[in-house]
Chain A
Amino acid sequence: MMTDMKRSKAEIEALIVKARQDAPSPSVDLLARVLMDAEANQPRATARLGVWRPGLWGRVLEGVGGWPSLGGLIAATIIGFGIGINPSAMIDTPASAMLGSFDTLSQYDADLSGLSWELSEG
């Protein structure tokens, strides 16, 4: 009885070893289907790899020539806006700073007229 059990156990072990060696393998068709599924469900490389693609503002910025050009554009816009609101202030003030005001010039005129009076007096 014990011998029968041992024999039976050994036979089962041998069968299992045989089954392990004789593993069922997938068909080429199944492998192709699985690969197709893998590719269809794979996240896109660009999204996952973090490759930067400019958005709307990025593309606008590129269109005007990047940040350096945008700086100049902003300055020109501010000055243009100021001239539109108050033309004399925006033009006179810088001009006065560089050339002096009309009042200062008329003071020189007064001095000059005084000198001509003294000259005429002798």
Chain B
Amino acid sequence: MPLDALQDTSTEALLALYARGDPAAARVLTLRLTPLAYGLAYRMLGEVAEAEDVTQEALIRLWRIAADWRSGEAQVSTWLYRVVSNLATDRLRLRRRNGPTLDEIAEPESTAPSASDQLQDRARVDALQTALNRLPIRQKQAVILRHIEGLANPEIAQIMEISTEAVESLTARGKRALSDLLAGRRAELGYNDD
């Protein structure tokens, strides 16, 4: 099937086409799902090479189960978010066991303070990522899925395999912790008290 004809096709239908050997479906799925997986992996891990490894691994798992995918049971994106979350969580736990604590990990190189708005925006995004890296894993996961990926609480509950109430609690605590972590950097990030 031509690529253009597949752009509006649902991800689940594309996966069915992929499983029947349609080469165009493989290309469209790659372009559609890789950014989704990589975005979450990078936010969770804060590091490009590891985020790429997790993305590749999660998608290999999807390709391998495509032929056995049960239509209507779960959304492909929800399944993928869950696999990426689990793989990233495993790596974060391993890091904590074997390596330095998150507080000891060097922050991304900050370009602030700067007169340029663009550089200041970059510095603010980096500061948020640094603060995210310091949250407990489950809080970080919930905050990223809810506030950055923009998912609804019931979907996050499916991904994290917890109740919706637990998601609400994690996101609220995570956001408060982010606020505390960033409070000391307000001036550096160009926020004034006026």
Contacts and interface: CB of A to CB of B under 8 A. Distances in A.
Contacts of A11: 182, 186, 191
Contacts of B42: 24
A114 B20 CA distance: 90
Interface in A17-55: 18-20, 22-27, 30-31, 33-35, 37-39, 41-49
A22 B125 contact: yes
Contacts of A35: 26-27, 30
B38 A26 contact: yes
Interface residues of A, number: 33
Contacts of A59: none
A31 B29 CA distance: 11
B76 to A, nearest CB: 13
Contacts of B60: 37, 41
Chain B: number of interface residues, binned into ranges = 35 or more
A15 B122 CA distance: 10
Interface in B167-188: 175, 178-179, 182-183, 186
B140 interface: no
27 contacts: A7-B191, A8-B179, A12-B175, A12-B179, A16-B128, A18-B125, A20-B147, A23-B39, A24-B43, A25-B38, A26-B35, A30-B52, A31-B31, A34-B30, A34-B34, A37-B59, A38-B26, A41-B60, A41-B66, A42-B18, A42-B21, A42-B66, A43-B21, A47-B21, A48-B20, A49-B20, A49-B21
Query: Across chains A and B, which 10 residue pairs bring their CB atoms closest together, nearest first?
Result: A45-B21, A41-B63, A26-B38, A38-B26, A24-B42, A48-B20, A35-B30, A15-B128, A16-B147, A26-B34
Interface of B: 18-23, 26-27, 29-31, 34-35, 38-39, 42-43, 51-52, 55-56, 59-60, 63-64, 66-67, 121, 124-125, 127-129, 147-148, 150, 175, 178-179, 182-183, 186, 191, 193
